[in-house]
């Protein structure tokens, strides 16, 4: 984007650095559009920016460290930019953020939402992320983010439909619906299933992907819609533990048997589904037996991949996360075992599709992402334009997935 206006006057420039989840990415996309509407030129490199906005995350201690690193990187930029910090870490620890030399302004979540409310996202990736929901009242014992983002709030379905239509009209062929607790979406009588049905009614040559959905919020209506070929057969459903006692301590609203039935129902309507799961290990009170129960449970599930997190005690959750601490070496060993298991599951899932043809959205001229969440290296001489949907035959070269135009 040029940093000169039509009159030749140099426009102010800004860069946006984002840590964390798809929800943060969607909010950064809305901020990008908000700034552009104000006449600000958006630049990729922080070194070229007059102002740098850092959108932070605080879900774990690692997320805190990553956010601080991003803030310091922004403050070290050669042009001495004005640095504005927003996001969940800015909401939780504004004093800590303000102490970083070079930070000019810290936005709490109320200020952030006031800036971007009602603004369409301006995605820079090949797939658009559309925020339809925010907030959570579940209060899982280990989670600090739900308290920072407030009670559940859903974007009116009419507004979602308008934004969705504009994204398709601007050339996007995949839209990812996201929220802090996406499955709690409700606009009057319209649930997430109802919203998805409305969107499918205006979606012909594009596809919809659901971001992470909590297992206790997935109902029969949503499962039925998962069979629609325009809904990507890739669902990320947080498990956290396969041990009922730990699920109770975590204040999760389901038990292992409920989770099993849910996954079986989804796979029944979409057998090719790629199921991703979050798992926390090292939670206080996780004994050898409870960890093994989780391992055995996972071994019986059609796992496509896992996101494995070592337990991270967050400020304000000390009273809800009481129990015998798991020694760090034990927790690290369990994380390693689960990640190795995830690698095997990913390889086994991918192997099922070698030789088949899948729909894929082009990310770059040489990479594409299939509907069932397989990232392919595009082969052949044809130049493919980002954002478009293509059919690719999946191959395997040197243990990496490839896709050749079909």
Q: Are residues 281 and 198 in the same domain?
A: yes
Q: Could you give phi then psi for residue 219, rounded to 5 degrees?
A: -105, 175
Measured distance CA(50)–CA(12) in Å, rounded: 6
Nearest Cα neighbor of 51 from 3, 118, 8 is 3
The crossing angle, in degrees rounded to 10, of helices 22-37 and 109-116 is 50
Measured distance CA(181)–CA(133) in Å, rounded: 7
- For the cut 70, the answer to whether the pLDDT of residue 87 exceeds it is yes
* Mean pLDDT of all residues in 123-137: 96
- For the cut 80, the answer to whether the pLDDT of residue 9 exceeds it is no
| pLDDT at residue 308 in the model | 98
Q: Are residues 187 and 303 in the same domain?
A: yes
Q: Which helix (H) or strand (E) holds 98?
A: helix 94-98
- For the cut 70, the answer to whether the pLDDT of residue 4 exceeds it is no
Q: Are residues 325 and 194 in the same domain?
A: yes
What is the domain-level CATH number for residue 98?
3.40.50.12160
Q: Are residues 103 and 150 in the same domain?
A: no
Residue 7 inside a domain? The answer is no
Q: Are residues 322 and 195 in the same domain?
A: yes
How many Cβ atoms are within 10 Å of 275's Cβ, its own excluded? 23
Give per-residue pLDDT as tens, 104-119: 999 999 999 999 999 9
* Mean pLDDT of all residues in 35-56: 96
Q: Distance between the two ends of the chain, CA-based, in angstroms?
A: 34
Give per-residue pLDDT as tens, 251-276: 999 999 999 999 999 999 999 999 99
Strand partners, 275: 235
Give per-residue pLDDT as tens, 185-200: 999 999 999 999 999 9
- Which range of residues forms the domain containing residue 59? 13-114
The four Cα atoms 290, 291, 296, 302 give a dihedral, to 10 degrees, of 120
Residue 4 inside a domain? The answer is no
Q: Are residues 282 and 147 in the same domain?
A: yes
Measured distance CA(99)–CA(106) in Å, rounded: 11
Q: Are residues 215 and 315 in the same domain?
A: yes
End position of a domain, from candidates 114, 141, 157: 114
Q: Are residues 236 and 193 in the same domain?
A: yes
Q: Are residues 300 and 385 in the same domain?
A: no
Question: Token match 């906005």: residue?
Answer: 53
* Mean pLDDT of all residues in 368-375: 98
Q: Are residues 226 and 247 in the same domain?
A: yes
Question: Token match 């620890």: residue?
Answer: 93
Question: Token match 């998962």: residue?
Answer: 226
Residue 140 inside a domain? The answer is yes
Residue 232 inside a domain? The answer is yes
End position of a domain, from candidates 114, 139, 161: 114
- For the cut 60, the answer to whether the pLDDT of residue 1 exceeds it is no
Cβ–Cβ under 8 Å, residues 100 and 94: no
Question: In terms of pLDDT, which residue wins out, 203 or 344?
Answer: 344
Q: Are residues 17 and 103 in the same domain?
A: yes
What is the domain-level CATH number for residue 241?
3.80.30.20
Number of structural domains the chain divides into: 3
Residue 5 inside a domain? The answer is no
Give per-residue pLDDT as tens, 131-184: 999 999 999 999 999 999 999 999 999 999 999 999 999 999 999 999 999 999
Residue 286 inside a domain? The answer is yes
* Mean pLDDT of all residues in 214-243: 98
């Amino acid at each position: 984007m040029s940093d000169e206006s039509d009159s030749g006057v140099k426009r102010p420039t800004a860069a946006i650095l984002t840590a964390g989840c798809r929800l943060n990415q969607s909010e950064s996309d809305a901020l990008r559009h908000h700034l552009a509407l104000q006449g600000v030129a958006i630049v990729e490199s922080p070194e070229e920016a007059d102002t740098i906005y850092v959108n932070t995350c605080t879900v774990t201690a690692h997320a805190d460290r990553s956010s601080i690193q991003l803030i310091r990187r922004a403050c070290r930029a050669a042009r001495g930019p004005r640095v504005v910090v927003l996001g969940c870490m800015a909401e939780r620890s504004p004093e800590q953020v303000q102490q970083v030399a070079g930070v000019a302004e810290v936005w709490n979540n109320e200020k952030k939402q006031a800036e971007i409310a009602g603004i369409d996202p301006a995605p820079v990736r090949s797939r658009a992320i559309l925020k339809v929901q925010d907030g959570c009242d579940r209060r899982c014992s280990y989670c600090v983010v739900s308290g920072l983002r407030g009670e559940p709030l859903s974007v009116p379905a009419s507004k979602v439909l308008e934004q969705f239509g504009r994204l398709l009209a601007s050339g996007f062929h995949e839209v990812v619906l996201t929220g802090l607790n996406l499955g709690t979406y409700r606009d009057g009588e319209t649930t997430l299933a109802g919203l998805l049905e409305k969107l499918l009614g205006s979606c012909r040559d594009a596809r919809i992907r659901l971001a992470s959905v909590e297992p206790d919020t997935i109902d029969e209506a949503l499962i039925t819609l998962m069979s629609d070929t325009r809904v990507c057969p890739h669902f990320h459903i947080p498990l956290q533990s396969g041990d009922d006692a730990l699920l109770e301590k975590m204040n999760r609203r389901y038990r292992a048997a409920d989770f099993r039935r849910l996954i079986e129902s989804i796979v029944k309507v979409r057998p090719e589904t790629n199921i991703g799961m979050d798992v926390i290990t090292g939670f206080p009170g996780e004994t050898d037996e409870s960890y093994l129960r989780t391992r055995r449970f996972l071994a019986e599930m059609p796992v496509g991949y896992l996101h494995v997190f070592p337990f991270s005690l967050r400020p304000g959750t000390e009273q809800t996360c009481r129990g015998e601490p798991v020694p760090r070496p034990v927790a690290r060993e369990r994380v390693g075992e689960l990640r190795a298991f995830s690698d095997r599951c990913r390889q086994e899932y991918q192997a099922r599709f070698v030789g088949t043809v899948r729909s894929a959205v082009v990310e770059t001229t040489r990479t594409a992402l299939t509907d069932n969440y397989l990232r392919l290296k595009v082969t052949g001489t044809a130049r493919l334009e980002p954002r478009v949907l293509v059919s690719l035959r999946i191959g395997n070269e040197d243990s990496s997935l490839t896709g050749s135009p079909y």
